[in-house]
Amino acid sequence: MIPKSGLPEGLHPDTLAVREGLPATPWGENSEALFLTSSFVHPDAATAARRFANEEEAFVYSRFGNPTVMMMERRLAAMEGTTGCIGTSSGMAASLLLVMGLLKAGDHIVCSQSVFGSTLRLFQDFARFGVETSFVPQTDLAAWQAAMRPSTRMLFAETPSNPLTEVCDIRALADIAHAGGAWLAVDNCFCSPALQQPVKFGADFVVHSGTKYLDGQGRVIAGAVCGPAELIDSKLMPVMRSAGMSLSPFNAWVVLKGLETLSIRLQAQSARALELAKWLETHPAVQRVYHPSLPSHPQHALAMAQQGGQGGAVLSFVVRAPAGQERAAAFSVIDATRICSITANLGDTKTTITHPASTSHGRLTEPQRQAAGITQGLIRLAVGLEHVGDLQADLARGLDALPLA
Ligand SMILES: *Cc1c(COP(=O)(O)O)cnc(C)c1O
C-alpha cells in the first residue's frame, strides 16, 4: 500500500544514501518533504477501520508512522544492508526499544564493558525488570564465550569504543551469539554504515545514535534500530506503538538529509584524524595515541578489514607529564585550543575536544578508570572538517608549552 521508491535494483550505497526513500508527492518536490503532521486523514470510516485493524497499510498517527520518518528508515536500512529499520527519539531509545521488544524477564545479555556510559547504566537498570547483563572486556573473546548462559538472548557490542577505539571482532561475536541461540546487536555509532556494515559480518541488529555522524552537524537528537524487517515489524513496532519513543519528523528530516553526505564526510574526517594521529605520535609531549588506522593500534589489522580500511574520525592521546600533574597538563592543552569545541559530543563537522576522565567517565572511581585505561592525561578528539593544518596548530599551542617530563 505504501509504495517503494521506484529505484532500479542493485544500486550502490552512495546512490541509495541520496535517493532511497518514498516517491515524491504529486507536487514533484526534488528534496524530500517534511511532513509535520500528527495524524493522517482517511477517505471514509470503513477505510479508517481497516487501517486501525492493520488490514491495510497506511499512515495513521505519527507516533508509529510518518512519511519523513519512513524515508529516513528506508534510506538507513539500505545503507546498513538490512531489510528493516525503525527510527527512535534518541540513540538511547534505540537500545531501550531493542531490549523491550526482544527480551523478557529471565533473559540474559552479554555486553562489552567499554560501551557508551548511558548504555552501561541502561543495561544495569534492566536488572530491575529481570533482565540481567554480564559485562565483559571488549576484545577478550574467551570472556564473551565464558559469560554465555542458557538464558543468554543477546550480545551487545560497540566498535570502535569510546574513547580508546578498541575494536572487537564482529564475525567472532556473531558466531558466539548464534551458537548460543542469541542475537548480536552492534552500536555502529562511531563508524556508521559509511565505513562499517555490521550485518555483513553476521550481526543481527545495528543500533544508531543518529545524533552523531548520521546528522553530522550536531543539530538533533535521533536514533534507529536496523535489522530484519519481520522482527522489527513483529517485535519492535508494537513497543513503539504503545511506549512511543518516536522520532520526530523534523529530526528525521535532518538526519535524512545528513545521510546524503555521510560517506564523504566520514572519509574526509577519518583522513584528517589519521593525519593528526600520525603527527601526535611524533610529538615529544605525547606519550601515546589511540587510532585504529595507526599500525601501533592493537587491533589495527582487524579494524582495517572491518572498517573498509578507515580508522574513523575519533582519536585519543595521552599527554606526557610528571606524576600527579597529568590532569593539569591535559587541561592546559584543551584550554589552549581556540578552534576545537570543548564538548563531549562527537560526529560533528566541528572538531570537539574532551577530557574523558572528568566528563564522560567522571562518575567512575579512580581505580575503575585506571582499569579501563581512562587516565588523567587522556584527551579525546572527534575530528571535524576544519583544515588539518589549523587543527594541528590548535593542538600544538598547548602541547609545545608543556614542560617535558
Ligand atoms: C551518543 C551515543 C549514544 C546515545 O545516543 P543519544 O542519541 O545521545 O541518545 C549511544 N552510543 C554511542 C556510541 C554514542 O556515542
Q: Are 65 and 38 in contact (CB under 8 A)?
A: no
From the CB of 188, is ligand 1 less than 6 Å away?
A: no
From the CB of 116, is ligand 1 less than 6 Å away?
A: yes
Nearest residue to 382 via CA among 141, 190, 179, 128 = 190
Q: Are 384 and 351 in contact (CB under 8 A)?
A: yes
Residue 208 has a pLDDT of 98
From the CB of 21, is ligand 1 less than 6 Å away?
A: no
Nearest residue to 88 via CA among 209, 191, 185, 188 = 209
Task: Report the distance separating Cα 319 and Cα 74, nearest Å.
Answer: 44
User: 301 and 221 in one domain?
Assistant: no
Task: Report the distance separating Cα 124 and Cα 119, nearest Å.
Answer: 8
Question: Residue 144 domain-assigned?
Answer: yes
Question: Residue 8 domain-assigned?
Answer: no
Task: Report the distance separating Cα 236 and Cα 383, nearest Å.
Answer: 34
Name the band, by pLDDT with cuts 50, 70 and 90, for residue 350. very high
Q: Look at 232-246, 355-369, 383-397 and tell me which has the smallest mean pLDDT.
A: 355-369
Q: Report the nearest-CA residue for atom 5 of ligand 1.
A: 91
User: 148 and 30 in one domain?
Assistant: yes
User: 379 and 240 in one domain?
Assistant: no
List, for residues 226-258, the tens digit of each pLDDT value: 999 999 999 999 999 999 999 999 999 999 999
Residue 363 has a pLDDT of 84
Name the band, by pLDDT with cuts 50, 70 and 90, for residue 1. confident
From the CB of 220, is ligand 1 less than 6 Å away?
A: no
Domain count for the chain, please give it.
2
Question: Residue 2 domain-assigned?
Answer: no
Average pLDDT over the chain, rounded to an integer? 96
Question: Residue 355 domain-assigned?
Answer: yes
List, for residues 331-341, the tens digit of each pLDDT value: 999 999 999 99
Residues of the domain holding 282: 263-399
Residue 280 has a pLDDT of 98
Which atom of ligand 1 is closest in space to residue 115's alpha carbon? Answer: 13
Whether pLDDT at 93 is above 80: yes
Residue whose C-alpha cell reads 599551542 in the numeric block: 397
Q: Report the nearest-CA residue for atom 2 of ligand 1.
A: 209
From the CB of 139, is ligand 1 less than 6 Å away?
A: no
Q: Quote the pTM value.
A: 0.96
User: 388 and 340 in one domain?
Assistant: yes
Which atom of ligand 1 is closest in space to residue 189's alpha carbon? Answer: 13
Name the band, by pLDDT with cuts 50, 70 and 90, for residue 105. very high
Q: What's the rounded mean pLDDT across residues 345-362? A: 95
Whether pLDDT at 405 is above 70: no
User: 108 and 38 in one domain?
Assistant: yes
Nearest residue to 176 via CA among 157, 195, 200, 197 = 157
**Percentage with pLDDT > 70 across the chain:** 100
Q: Report the nearest-CA residue for atom 11 of ligand 1.
A: 116
From the CB of 182, is ligand 1 less than 6 Å away?
A: no
